Amino acid sequence: MSDLLARHRAVMPNWMALYYDEPIEIVSGKGSRVTDANGRSYLDFFAGIVTNTLGYDLAEVREAVERQLRTGVVHTSTLYLLRGQVELAEKIARLSGIDDAKVFFTNSGTEANETALLLATYARKSNQILAMRQSYHGRSFGATAVTSNRTWKNNALSPLSVYFLHGGDRHLPQFRGLSDDDYITVCVEDLRHTLATVTAGDVAAVIAEPIQGVGGYTCPPDGLYAAYQEVLSEQGILFIADEVQTGWGRTGQNFWGIQNHGVTPDMMTFAKGLGNGFAIGGLVARGELMDSLHATGLSTFGGNPISTAAANATLDYILDHDLQANAAKVGGQIIDGLREAAARMPYVTDVRGKGLMFAVELTEPELAVRALEETKARGLLVGKGGLYGNTLRMAPPLTLTEDEGREGLGILVDALEAIA
């Protein structure tokens, strides 16, 4: 393993982060468990950064991909009809709740967000965008512009004029003691003030994650985005929901995270979990917005036959097995258990989340690093994030069983006690 690590460092950029003092190579997986190159097994509570929605080696997904491979057609591009792509788009359009919805497929959430920003700025003839503080929307030039987390932002150069709103920052002193309703009121008044002062009056759109991923799973109170949308609609400002991490029933409460706020957006971007590990992303939007661009477009690899075979099988499995309900049940049990344990741990400042998307915030970044090592030592993989790097974030496969949930909870509590 030390040889592979040395080779990695020799040819990969040094800004590509690796977890752990001794990074691991995952060589196999089954269900919610993976095995490293040393034969050590782990329960996976991070699922390839919210991507392996159904875990590892699920027969339905594997067989769908194998059937497509046997045709010999791995790629043709969107210049030809793609049956799997059309079938997947029909499902997503129906599930979106957006009127007259159309779908465009990409390879990633970053590309999806770029497409949404293109549609919004074109439709509104403005490069002004509202985004959320502590947000993360991708690694490209435009996506970085609407990202509000200095750890992930390399420069302030931007093709957009971006103004950042409150919503995920209730930890700040001026908001800490407010009720949900009072916090929403303050945020809405700040939105109105922002529109009246720093914008030119023709804002294109707001882009928001229903739960902030890299931000450490910070959760705006349900209803905040409905209150925002009411103000935005007065000026025709579009609403883009970034569902890259919150889609497909992961929050347990609704199929899309933005539905927890009672909002039907103009556009939703998606990626990660749809392909259960195969690269696919995309955008679902009102047909008039999707059709509005005058220039010809395509996506060479977006929605290719292999990725759509995997995505169709993944989405069908989620729906057929009601994994949204499983997320609500198993995730709720884990969150309740973490909150009960956190009451005796003064260095745990918050336990938050919905369904199988939850986080534990600690007082110091160093504690999160130590907790990452302690969970690994006990056979559990978790993620790390938050504005200050002091949050453990977890999004297990939606197929996680109650027994696996109890096992992971036990390891988490034990690891948190060990860092005291």
**Cβ neighbours of residue 175 closer than 8 Å, sequence gap 6 or more:** 166, 169, 183, 186
Average the pLDDT over 354-376 and give the result: 98
What does residue 146 show for φ and ψ, rounded to 5 degrees? -95, 10
Q: Which of 304, 289, 242 is nearest to 109 (CA)?
A: 242
* Number of residues in the chain: 420
What does residue 83 show for φ and ψ, rounded to 5 degrees? -60, -45
Looking up tokens 């460092």 gives: 9
Q: What is the pLDDT of residues 370-381, one digit of tens each?
A: 999 999 999 999
Q: What is the pLDDT of residues 200-213, one digit of tens each?
A: 989 999 999 999 99
Q: Mean pLDDT in the chain?
A: 97
Residue 108 has pLDDT above 70, yes or no: yes
Average the pLDDT over 147-155 and give the result: 90
Identify the DSSP state of 381: E
The three-state secondary structure class of 302 is coil
DSSP annotation string for 128-176: EEEEETT----SSHHHHHT---GGG------SSEEEEE-SS-TTSTTTT
pLDDT reported for residue 130: 98
Strand ordering across the sheet containing 391-394: 348-354, 357-362, 391-394, 383-385
Looking up tokens 């998606």 gives: 270
| Encoded tokens for 75 | 């790629």
Q: What is the pLDDT of residues 9-45, one digit of tens each?
A: 999 999 999 999 999 999 999 999 999 999 999 999 9
Task: Collect contacts of 72-76 with beta carbons under 8 A, ≥24 apart.
Answer: 73/305, 74/304, 74/305, 74/306, 75/301, 75/304, 75/305, 75/306, 76/304, 76/305
Strand ordering across the sheet containing 33-36: 26-30, 33-36, 41-44, 380-381
Residue 151 has pLDDT above 80, yes or no: yes
Question: Residue 211 in contact with residue 257, Cβ under 8 Å?
Answer: yes
pLDDT bin (cut points 50, 70, 90) of residue 1 is: low
Count of Cβ atoms closer than 10 Å to residue 93 Cβ: 17
The angle at the Cα of 99, spanning 98 to 101, to the nearest 5 degrees, equals 70
Identify the DSSP state of 199: S
| Encoded tokens for 242 | 């970034």
Residue 97 has pLDDT above 90, yes or no: yes
**Cβ neighbours of residue 338 closer than 8 Å, sequence gap 6 or more:** 351, 358, 360, 409, 412, 413
pLDDT bin (cut points 50, 70, 90) of residue 154 is: confident
| Encoded tokens for 220 | 């705006």
Dist. CA 302–CA 269, nearest whole Å: 14
The three-state secondary structure class of 224 is helix
**Total-model pTM:** 0.96
Span(s) in the chain for CATH 3.40.640.10 = 73-320
Domain 2-57+322-418 = CATH 3.90.1150.10? yes
Dist. CA 36–CA 364, nearest whole Å: 29
Span(s) in the chain for CATH 3.90.1150.10 = 2-57+322-418
Residue 220 has pLDDT above 90, yes or no: yes
Count of Cβ atoms closer than 10 Å to residue 351 Cβ: 21
pLDDT reported for residue 156: 82
Dist. CA 327–CA 211, nearest whole Å: 15
Residue 311 has pLDDT above 70, yes or no: yes
CATH architecture of 73-320: 3-Layer(aba) Sandwich (3.40)
Count of Cβ atoms closer than 10 Å to residue 51 Cβ: 20
